[in-house]
Amino acid sequence: MKVLSGSSQNALAQSLAQQLSLPLAKVEISHFPNGEKRIWIDDTLKGENVILVQSFSNPPDEHIMEFLLIADALERMGVRHINAVIPWFGYSLQDKEFRPGEPIAAKVVANLISHAYIKRAFLLDLHNTSTPGFFSIPVHHLTASELFAEHARQNLDLSNVVVASPDFGGLKRAKVFAEKLGVELVKIDKYRDLQTFEITNMGVQGNVAGKDVIICDDIINTGSTVVNAAEVLKQQGAKSVHFFATHGPLVTSAFEKLNHPAVDSVVVTNSIPQPTDLGKVKVLDVSPLFAEELNSWLRPG
């Protein structure tokens, strides 16, 4: 068995290979003069099981196409099974028709993956827990909640902590996290314009005065929700505000926004590679989560 990676997750693939005590196969990725991707797997993999690691991060279309080309090359080489590790499943936020005439992009991508010689997929903290139903292959849906819980235990006084959900959609996730830490849950009401995607109003249900508040979510995109929620919580008397999110695309000017004085810390994972200079942002490694799941499935007993 060997591990190989597309261009989006070389560091995570290396870490995963080390934890599984597996060799890392060599994949050469380049471009033809006309801009098309050129893939060459410089290894002998016939008859082997392989673990293909790739996040569908920015640019998602390029990384998805790269993944499909690698899968096709592996099939032609005669591998037995491809186990796909996709820490960030790009297009997962487009899991329904928000307006008539829109595609369900998450289902489109799931169909592509399901028909690319993939035996099973290992995904992390999907925006919608129903998304695995879009696949026609087995899906292992992992969560980073225990990583975040351990980080909270080591860095905060849980006797003074409350957990908040940034919106109604994340309420179940926040409730589970609050129960894991054994702390109270408060609610943040967020209203977003589905045409402009701008947040128009926020309010807090529950007492946060003097409390260290952890806002639990699956993703940070622009950082606007982080800043707006932190400002509202500080206005309500919160002692500190910490934002925990599994995925951090951190687009546009997100890093600048996260340096806002109302935000005390931000914790994300390396499901999407992050730059080294992060300011207030702490990055947790998810490779142990995937290693544990892969070990229990691929090496039973």
Could you give the count of Cα atoms lying within 13 Å of 219 in the half-sphere of its Cβ? 20
Instruction: List the Cα angle 270/146/5 in 5-degree steps.
Output: 30
Q: How many other CB atoms sit within 10 Å of the CB of residue 138?
A: 12
Q: 190 catalytic, yes or no?
A: yes
Catalytic residue among 37, 119, 172, 190: 190
135 φ/ψ sector (left φ>0, alpha ψ -120 to 50, else beta)? beta
Q: Are 152 and 214 in contact, with CB atoms under 8 Å apart?
A: yes
| Cα 178 to Cα 185: distance, rounded to the nearest angstrom | 6
Q: What is the dihedral of CA 108, 110, 111, 112, to 10 degrees?
A: 90
Q: What is the CA radius of gyration of the chain?
A: 20
Strands 240-247 and 265-269: parallel
| Cα 226 to Cα 256: distance, rounded to the nearest angstrom | 12
| Cα 90 to Cα 93: distance, rounded to the nearest angstrom | 8
Question: Of 89, 85, 75, which is closest to residue 41 (Cα–Cα)?
Answer: 75
- Active-site positions read 190
